[in-house]
């Protein structure tokens, strides 16, 4: 089997980051680019995206498969069945600290829309930031190291501390 024929690493990375979040007492969130193949409550979709809490407490019958993420959850008190093709997941991260991974946007977005706005508009807390994907690149986006312990990569000035007051920082794309 060649690299071209092998299965995607995306579902494996999603499962690994989900496990990392739960092992560390963090809440795993997935950002999803919505289209007709995604089964989510449309009234909660904003700008073609939805962020889903996939923690044990927020879901039942969660299945993180190679092709789909499936679970049941309540939205506004109503039980809903959620079905997300793995290829539509654009990020998985911990709600508390923003650490996680962003993925290249779905192929239809690269050809039909502004792919640069996908990661910039994802409602994720600050944390590791994804490098820019290329339209022909179907691999996982490489993360830029975080400034843990006050040490950066040496090329940039240190980031100011996050502002308090409850405002949610957003995930931004670095070129």
Percent of the chain with pLDDT over 70: 58
- Tell me, rounded to whole angstroms, the distance of Cα 41 from its chain centroid: 18
Query: What CATH number has the domain spanning 10-146?
Result: 2.30.30.220
CB 86 within 8 A of CB 33: no
- pLDDT of 43 reads 94
pTM of the predicted structure, to 2 decimals: 0.62
Lowest mean pLDDT among 54-58, 90-94, 106-110, 120-124: 120-124
Domain ranges of the chain: 10-146
34: left (phi over 0), alpha (psi -120 to 50) or beta: beta
């Amino acid at each position: 089997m060649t690299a071209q024929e092998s299965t995607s690493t995306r579902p494996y990375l999603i499962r690994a980051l989900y496990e990392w979040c739960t092992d560390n007492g963090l809440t795993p969130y997935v950002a999803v680019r919505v289209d007709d193949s995604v089964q989510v409550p449309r009234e909660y979709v904003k700008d073609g995206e939805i962020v889903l809490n996939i923690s044990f407490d927020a879901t039942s019958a969660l299945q993180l498969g190679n092709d789909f993420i499936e679970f049941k959850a309540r939205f506004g008190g109503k039980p809903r069945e959620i079905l997300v093709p793995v290829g539509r997941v654009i990020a998985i991260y911990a709600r508390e600290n923003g650490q996680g991974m962003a993925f290249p946007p779905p192929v239809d977005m690269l050809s039909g829309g502004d792919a640069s706005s996908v990661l910039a508009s994802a409602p994720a807390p600050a944390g590791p930031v994804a490098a820019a994907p290329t339209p022909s690149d179907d691999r996982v986006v490489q993360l830029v190291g975080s400034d843990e312990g006050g040490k950066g990569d040496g090329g940039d000035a240190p980031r100011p501390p996050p502002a308090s007051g409850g405002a949610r920082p957003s995930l931004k794309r670095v070129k």
